[in-house]
Structure 1
Amino acid sequence: MTHPAKLTLGPVLFNWRPEAFRDFYFRIADEACVDTVCVGEVVCSKRTPFLAPVLPEVIERLTSAGKEVVLSSLALIMTEREANEARQLATADAGFLVEANDISVASMLAGRPFVAGPLLNIYNEGTLAALEELGAVRTCLPAELPADILVTLAGAAKGEIEIQAFGRLPLAISARCYHARSRNLAKDGCQYVCAEDPDGMAVDTLDDEPFLAVNGTQTMSYHYLDLLHELPALRARGINRFRLWPQNVDMVAVAALYRAVLDGAVEPADAADQLAALCPRAEFSNGYVHGREGHLFVEADL
């Protein structure tokens, strides 16, 4: 535990209105105790034109507040237009790290420092080493990994390792738009219906049990990840950087709870009670880090 713990706020994955997106990041800049903030469209390039006008002022506000800004790429690049936008992001000399969420973007960034994003398939030391050889100085690992593998990869890494610690987990990305299909719409004429679900659309099993969530072309966990109880043990085992995924809740207060537990100012159990009050509609899970099914909440030490 020689290195200070750091909090990263991941990019907004949902289709929030531009003014809500802007105001959210303005408040994060002014009030949130996070060290790094990722911004950019990850899920669907059709949303990009709505965010582009407010992104420069968001970045300026964040940097003025002393936050490290990381520019996040799309997670699935399928068209020449998307490839060109990725190249522009990868080659721009803007002074910010780029987070590669598609392996093609990592290739475009070869030779430059970048962040290997959580949507890359990084499950072993060989893949981690290959990305670091390309230039990855920080790696946010996939959510499915148990604690022992997280610690093994952290020990093998030359750069920083970050793990996901809060929010609905991004599990998969598709060429098809589930949100559009749920409204009997084609992807090209989706009418941006994903904006109707600012935290994603819950998906039930045939037995009417909530199972996953849909966010446009993205499949997410239904449960919110909550690693408050695991933070002290993960810190003791060498994990120093933790990612919070933005949800349609008071993320300033969520970040404050995670910071307080990392600093030893609040007991995890007390923080967990406060987190539940901040997210009254959420169900929580932590199964993956315990080597169990991801939707479970395991009350056990690591």
Structure 2
Amino acid sequence: MDLTVGPNFFFWEAETIRSFYRDLAATPVARVVLGELVCSKRLPFWRDEIPAAIEVLQAAGKEVALTTLALLTLRRERKITADLMDLDLPVEVNDLSALVQIPEGRHFWVGPLVNVYNEGTLRWLIRRGARRICLPPELTLDSVAVLAGAGRDEGVPVEVWGHGRLPLAISARCYHARLHDRAKDSCQFVCGKDPDGRDVDTMDGQQFLTVNGVQTLSQSTASMALKIDDLHSAGVAALRLSPQSRNFDDICIAYASRLGGETSGAALAARLRPLVPGGNLSDGFLSGPAGAAWSGERMGKPN
């Protein structure tokens, strides 16, 4: 089992992006997915940064892929997706409509926003050209084992969400713009004020969700720190780590130490908690009563 870093969900300043990928190049991750997944309005900022990020990551021996948008609604967004085919890099599909732009016979990856819930879907995608599949984060461990086994039979590695705020939904409406009384078309990129998303509580003050422009995320950080042995036994090929604005290189190193047998799951969880936004971890989708649950509580470790 090794590590994949997924695309950055958030809107950061250019220098933050540059330093992030320079630091990431020095970490023990195997591959990195680059590009804009959430909002096509951010793409002009990414275009100037992607070539340099590719260069520094490939020079460090990382495999690099480019993501599609998660919600393709406009003609220009379809054109942007088609343009990805001109680059000599794998493309990760995060909206099935992007397959229209991928020629028959061309290989691609499948990201966690595609609903691969059963063996039929997984095998259909492999026949269509998928050569790497990251499962949606809401699957149970039993389902992960079945799908990882099917992928292994087909010779295609299957990875799971290993760390990061969970991508729960994408909307055509921008929550950040509405929060600041702005129209989506004149948002002035207000989402950049919240580099790890804006937390949303219920009216009675209960922690609930996080918003990131048009995207809804979990407020807790999902972490498979205590589930790595189970996932390894299930045949999972890689853990996917989702970027955050601070301490991410330390997080990658911590997971690599766990995969290398140098530390325990409990020690990894303890190391992660002060590094993540809000300090809350969760892993409930695998086997808990709810996605926001944390199995560490049952081991006497507070959330």
Q: Given the two structures, how large is their TM-score scaled by the length of structure 2?
A: 0.94
Distance 2:88 2:75 in 1: 25
Selected match of 1:282 from 279, 287, 292? 279
Moved over 6 A (4+): none
Amino acid at match of 2:117: Y
Give the Å deviation of 1:51: 1.4
Aligned CA RMSD, in angstroms, stands at 1.3
Between the two proteins, the alignment pairs up a number of residues equal to 294
Q: Is the 8 A contact 1:13 1:246 kept in 2?
A: yes
1:4-37 deviation digits (Å, cap 9, x = unpaired): x1100111100011111111011111x2110001
Structure 2 match to 1:134: 128
Deviations 1:127-174 (A, max 9, x none): 111111110011111010010000100111221101001010111101
Could you say which residue in structure 1 is the equivalent of 2:219? 222
Match of 2:159 in 1: 162
State which of 9, 15, 30 in structure 1 corresponds to 2:11. Answer: 15
**SS at 1:281 equivalent:** helix
Contact 1:107 1:134 in 2 (8 A): no
Matched, 1:80 2:88: no
Task: State the match for 1:271 in structure 2.
Answer: 268
Aligned-residue offset at 1:292: 2.7
Determine whether 1:67 maps to 2:62. Answer: yes
Identity %: 43
C-alpha distance in 2, partners of 1:38/1:233?
25
Separation of aligned partners in 1, 2:106 and 2:185: 35
Match of 1:99 in 2: 92
Segments of 5+ residues of structure 1 without an aligned counterpart are none
CA distance in structure 1 between the partners assigned to 2:277 and 2:211 by the alignment: 20
CA distance in 1, matches of 2:134, 2:223: 17
Matched with 2:109 is 115
Alpha-carbon offset, residue 47 of structure 1: 0.4
The aligned residue for residue 149 of structure 1 is 143
Deviations 1:238-265 (A, max 9, x none): 1121100001221111011111111111
1:140 counterpart letter in structure 2: C
Structure 2 Cα separation of the partners of residues 217 and 298 of structure 1: 30
Gaps of 5+ in 2: none
Q: Any idea what SS the aligned residue of 1:38 has?
A: strand
Question: Any conservation in 2 of the 1:9–1:37 contact (CA below 8 Å)?
Answer: yes
Question: Cα gap change, 1:196/1:151 in structure 2, threshold over 3 Å: closer, same or farther?
Answer: same
Cα distance in 2 for partners of 1:194, 1:148 equals: 37
